[in-house]
């Protein structure tokens, strides 16, 4: 009976986390061998953010940010994004079994060849910073998609600024 009650409470907690609604306890409290005859009052439990011990799964963590952005025609990581890259470097150093693919991207301006080269320099720059943070070279691969994988489809600076990036993608 005690295991059943604990299981029901855990199911409620997981359901609450998935729906971002407070969980309710519906099982009666169980004390050593006595059978419960009345249900426990429904009490709200604060939702728990599922992190499963891995800060990559915590949306409040700096590791939740997985893109590094650049000004026009620049391949150096900007000061605003350096803490993000450094945090990912420390994470990779302490989790040697994790692997990432660094995907360099550009806006649509420039030739295909130029943008492929610029995207590769951007991805390689992030890779170098991750290595300085303790990540091993074997944990990372860097590729360039040039202008082929835009996240914004407009043809103005607001869209272009979203497309000039390096994405940090962890392997499953």
CATH code: domain of residue 112 = 3.30.1330.60
pTM of the model: 0.69
For residue 98, how far is the Cα from the chain centroid? 13
Domains contained in the chain, number: 2
Question: Do 160 and 80 share a structural domain?
Answer: yes
Question: Do 142 and 91 share a structural domain?
Answer: yes
Q: How far is CA 62 from CA 85, 116, 158, 171, in A?
A: 9, 28, 24, 18
Question: Do 161 and 104 share a structural domain?
Answer: yes
Rg (the chain; Cα; Å): 23
Question: Do 62 and 14 share a structural domain?
Answer: no
142 within 8 A of 127, measured Cβ to Cβ: yes
- Look at residue 50 and tell me if it is in a domain: no
Tell me the per-residue pLDDT of 73-99, one tens digit each, with 9 for 90 and over.
999 999 999 999 999 999 999 999 999
- Look at residue 28 and tell me if it is in a domain: yes
Lowest mean pLDDT among 22-36, 83-97, 102-116, 135-149: 22-36
- C-alpha dihedral (10, 12, 17, 18), degrees to nearest 10: 110
Provide the residue range defining the domain that includes 89: 55-170
């Amino acid at each position: 009976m005690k295991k059943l009650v604990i299981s029901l409470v855990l199911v409620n907690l997981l359901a609450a986390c998935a729906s971002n609604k407070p969980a309710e306890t519906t099982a009666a409290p169980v004390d050593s061998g006595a059978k419960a005859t009345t249900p426990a009052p429904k009490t709200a439990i604060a939702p728990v953010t599922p992190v499963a011990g891995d800060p990559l799964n915590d949306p409040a963590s700096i590791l939740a940010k997985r893109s590094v952005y650049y000004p026009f025609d620049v391949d150096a990581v900007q000061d605003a994004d350096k803490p993000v890259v450094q945090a990912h470097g420390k994470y990779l150093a302490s989790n040697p079994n994790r692997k990432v693919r660094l995907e360099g991207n550009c806006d649509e301006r420039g030739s295909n060849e130029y943008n492929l080269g610029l995207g590769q320099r951007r991805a390689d720059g992030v890779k170098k910073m991750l290595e300085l943070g303790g990540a091993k070279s074997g944990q990372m691969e860097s590729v360039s998609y040039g202008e082929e994988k835009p996240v914004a489809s407009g043809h103005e600076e607001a869209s272009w600024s979203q497309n000039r990036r390096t994405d940090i993608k962890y392997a499953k």
